[in-house]
Amino acid sequence: MTIGASVSATVRRPARWADRIGRGLMALDAVATLGAFANGLVIMASVSDDRVITEAWRTFAYIVFAGLWAVLAVAPRRQWGLWELLLLQKGAITVYSFAMWDMPDAPMTAFVDLTLTVTTLVAYVLCRGWYAWRTSAPELASGVRPIGSAG
């Protein structure tokens, strides 16, 4: 019985190198998004009154996205649905930006969000993000599950 549990836990954990790369990509996305937040503050200070609330909403959303990527960098297999939610949103805005290519900012948005979609998808595979749906066992930031955990 102990052997089966040990094999199950081993199969669920990604290779250490893959986990590190995936977590690194999520940390990189978080930091890059904080850069977008800083740029958003500059934009907020310079837009007309009829655009300031929209730009503020967009700018403060960068903090949320940076936080989501940071959470995934720390505990990639503990966040049910978070990977998929990020992939859905980033994928949707990427497709929309390509469809609206002739609009202002569409090419830049398409490039940036395609990059974020790809890095998130690669990290999802490397970190085995889908395993969040399979376990409720705690996971430390090091990627190691405590002894005696169920998964």
pLDDT digits (tens, 9 = 90+) for 129-146: 999 898 555 555 565 555
pLDDT of 10 above 60: no
Q: Which amino acid is located at 56 in the chain?
A: A
Q: What is the pTM of this model?
A: 0.80
Measured between alpha carbons, how far is residue 150 from residues 72, 105, 137, 139, 142 in Å? 21, 48, 6, 11, 17
Q: What is the mean pLDDT of residues 10-35?
A: 92
pLDDT at site 7: 43
Mean of the pLDDT values across residues 19-39?
98
Most confident range, picked from 7-11, 107-111, 131-135: 107-111
What are the CA-CA distances from residue 136 to residues 27, 132, 139 (Å)? 23, 8, 9
Q: What is the pLDDT of residue 11?
A: 53
Q: Looking at residue 127, what is its pLDDT?
A: 96
For residue 35, pLDDT beyond 90: yes
